[in-house]
Each structure stands twice: as C-alpha cells, then as structure tokens.
Amino acid sequence: ICGKNIYMKRVVLFLISFVLVSQSYSENYENLDTIFNRVTKLFKQEKYLECFDLSKDLYEQSIEVEDTVLVFNSLYYMGFSNQRMGNMEEALDYNLKAYDVALLLDRLDLQSSIMNNIANVYMVNDEDSLAVIYFEKSIDFENQLIVIGRGNDRRQQLASRLGNISTAYMKLGRCEDAISAAEEGLRIDKEVGRPNKIAIRLNQLGNVYMKCGQLQEAIRCEREAYSYFEKAGSKYGMSIVLHSLGDMNKLENEIDSAIFYYEKSLEYAKSIENRLLIKDISQSLYKVYEEIN
C-alpha cells in the first residue's frame, strides 16, 4: 500500500508539472503573438527604430521556442524597418536571412514578400537590372498564388510588385514597360479598394510619367497621392510625394515652388529620422540653390 501511495504521488506530481510547463509555454506563445502585434503596429505608425528593437527581441524569443514562422516575421520586420530608415546594408542582410527561412518553410507567399524587399534594396542602391530579376520572380510567385485561389490578398501583393517594378523599369529607361506596370498596379488597388496603397501607386505612376516626359500627368498623380497620404497622416509618404513635386516644379523652372516642396519634404523626413530621405532631399536642395547662385 505504501508503494502504491508513493507511485500515485509521483503520478500527481508529474501531471502537475506537465500542466505548469504547458501553461507556461502557452502563456509565452501568447506573449510572442502580442509582441508581434506590437511590431506591426509600430511599423504602421512609422516608428521604425522602435519596430526594429522590438523585432530583435521577438527574434531571440522565437528562436528559443522554435517558432519558425515568427523567426521569419521578426527577420522580415528587422529588414523592412532598416530599409525604411535608409540602412540598406543591414536591410539586405536581414532580408537574405529571412529568405533562407522562407525556403525552409517552403512558403511561396513568404518567398515573394522577401524577394520584393530584396529587390527594393537593390533598386535603392541603383542595381536596377538585379532588382528587376527579383521583382519579376516575385510577380511570378504572386500569379501562381492567385491561380491556386488565394484571392484578393494576393491581388493586393501583385499590385505592390507591379508598382515597384515600374520604378525599376523607369530607371532603366523602359518607359513603355514602366507605365504599363504602374497603371496595372493602380487599377488593381482601386478595384480592391486600398486607399493607402492607391497613394503609393499614384506616387510611383507620377514618377514614371515625369521620367517619360508626361509632366502634367505626373503632377496630377502626385497631388492626388499627397491627399491620400495626408489623410492617413503618413509623414513618410508625404515626404516622398513632396520631394517628387519639388523635382517636377524644378523641371518647369518654378524654382521658388521647388524649394518650398523640398524644404517641406525635408521637414517630414527629419521628423521620422529617415537618413536616406534626408540625404536625397538635401542633395536636391543643394543642387537647386547651386543653380540659382
């Protein structure tokens, strides 16, 4: 009887221990989901440094619990936040690591997202031919996902890829391809109904029109894009559009207006501490002042 009691005590202790461990793991997992939600919220709020720091914490904890999807998500936002801050070398490093995880997971959607981000980094670094290769592969993946029935979710991603590749085509002087891709991306986003993405697509199309010599169409697109970004309170978006409007007014020899747009663009870039934007806008201001002195 004594032996039986000892055995029963051991069983009870084991069960209690199992429940406590399971509860601890469950609470930790829920905590990681909460952290990830905060990461995405910080990114949407354009708090990119805070987003990176929290993503790094999420990455370390995700490794501990062996959650591969969260490992990918944390690397994704570590790369994307660095990209938005203008830290392109760091962005590429994290994106390449995330791509390895996406391959491990055998997920086309994740591979497509990272290929798009890698392409954007290459494009910022003026490696446009290389960027086009990654964008085209990402577009191919999105079309495959649409065929297998992923619906509007993947159509939205396709629109994004088309807008991005239009910029790469534009930089390579492929105007016809650039306009076609940008207009198709805008058409899809208007059909799906995504105001914030419509703004991005309008900005991309405006820049394409400007490069291809259709200046009035370009200005119309940028002004429409600005209204969307202003309504959303996106300082990043407003800064990009104002920079483009500065370039367009400079082309029209409206120097005072160009300076006004550049200075306002710089103000927004500084407010979100985006080093790449600050550098590009400052160079534009320097060049316009150099020409009038």
Contact 200, 237 (CB under 8 A): yes
Contact 288, 273 (CB under 8 A): no
Burial (0-12, 13-18, 19+ Cβ within 10 Å), 230: middle
Contact 169, 129 (CB under 8 A): no
Query: Measuring CA to CA, which residue among 254, 253, 182 is closest to residue 211?
Result: 182
* 106 token code pair: 């055998």
Question: What counts of helices (H) and strands (E) characterise the chain?
Answer: 13, 0
Provide the pLDDT confidence category of residue 148 given band limits of 50, 70 and 90: confident
Q: What is the pLDDT of residue 101?
A: 97
Q: Which residue has the tokens 């577009």?
A: 139
Burial (0-12, 13-18, 19+ Cβ within 10 Å), 158: buried
Give the contacts of 130 (CB within 8 A, at least 6 positions apart): 119, 122
Q: What is the pLDDT of residue 219?
A: 96
- Report the C-alpha gap between 208 and 202 in whole angstroms: 10
Contact 192, 174 (CB under 8 A): no
At 201-243, the pLDDT tens digits run: 999 999 999 999 999 999 999 999 999 999 999 999 999 999 9
Amino acid at 204: Q
Region 31-45: mean pLDDT is: 93
Provide the pLDDT confidence category of residue 11 given band limits of 50, 70 and 90: very low
**Three-class SS of residue 221?**
helix
Is residue 23 scored above 60 in pLDDT? Answer: no
Q: What is the pLDDT of residue 194?
A: 83
Q: What is the pLDDT of residue 38?
A: 96
Share of the chain above pLDDT 70, in %: 89
Query: Measuring CA to CA, which residue among 24, 82, 41, 33 is closest to residue 58?
Result: 33
Query: Measuring CA to CA, which residue among 16, 29, 13 is closest to residue 62?
Result: 29
Is residue 13 scored above 60 in pLDDT? Answer: no
Q: What is the pLDDT of residue 3?
A: 52
Contact 189, 231 (CB under 8 A): no
